[in-house]
């Protein structure tokens, strides 16, 4: 197989431009598999899903409905549902992370002490919200408190 045929085969398999296919082919010294992996690492080719099986995506030409086309569209819908489930799983992980973070912030207190006497205490979540929404008030108060002999500590109620 000559160079042009190999580049054409790589272009069809990876669904990339001739320029990208040629660049990958030359970068990998003519090894088509290495060129395909190279394109995947660059993000130009979507890596295969599950068990390393690779199926190149073919562009669909509009055809009259047949049983084969119906089965393909049904499989595409299943893939779309998997994508939705992946997005849902990601949202659940993000929600779980933030809810755990808020619970940890609510169970940890920021305490203000003066001469080892307890002056004030509030959850770390409140401190974080104050630092986000009013840092021009919160930070100067903390620094000024240090000059007047106040001490600060974090106390966790989880033990």
CA angle (13, 38, 48) in 5-degree steps: 55
Cβ-Cβ contacts under 8 Å for 60 (sequence gap 6 or more): 72
pLDDT band of 43, cuts 50, 70, 90: confident
End-to-end CA distance of the chain: 69
Cβ-Cβ contacts under 8 Å for 134 (sequence gap 6 or more): none
pLDDT band of 62, cuts 50, 70, 90: very low
pLDDT at 61 over 50: no
The pLDDT value recorded for residue 60 is 47
**Residue ranges per structural domain of the chain:** 3-42, 104-156
pLDDT band of 38, cuts 50, 70, 90: confident
Q: What are phi and psi of 25, to 5 degrees?
A: -60, -45
């Amino acid at each position: 197989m000559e160079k042009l045929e190999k580049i054409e085969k790589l272009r069809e398999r990876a669904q990339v431009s001739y320029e990208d296919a040629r660049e990958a082919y030359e970068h990998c010294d003519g090894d088509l598999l290495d060129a395909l992996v190279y394109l995947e690492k660059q993000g130009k080719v979507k890596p295969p899903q599950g068990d390393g099986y690779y199926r190149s995506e073919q562009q669909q030409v509009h055809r009259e409905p047949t049983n084969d086309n119906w089965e393909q569209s049904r499989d595409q819908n299943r893939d779309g549902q998997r994508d939705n489930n992946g997005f849902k799983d990601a949202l659940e992980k993000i929600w779980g992370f933030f809810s755990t973070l808020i619970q940890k912030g609510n169970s940890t207190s920021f305490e203000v002490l003066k001469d080892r006497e307890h002056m004030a205490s509030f959850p770390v979540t409140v401190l974080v919200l104050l630092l986000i929404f009013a840092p021009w008030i919160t930070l100067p108060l903390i620094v000024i408190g240090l000059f007047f002999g106040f001490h600060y500590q974090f106390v966790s109620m989880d033990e």
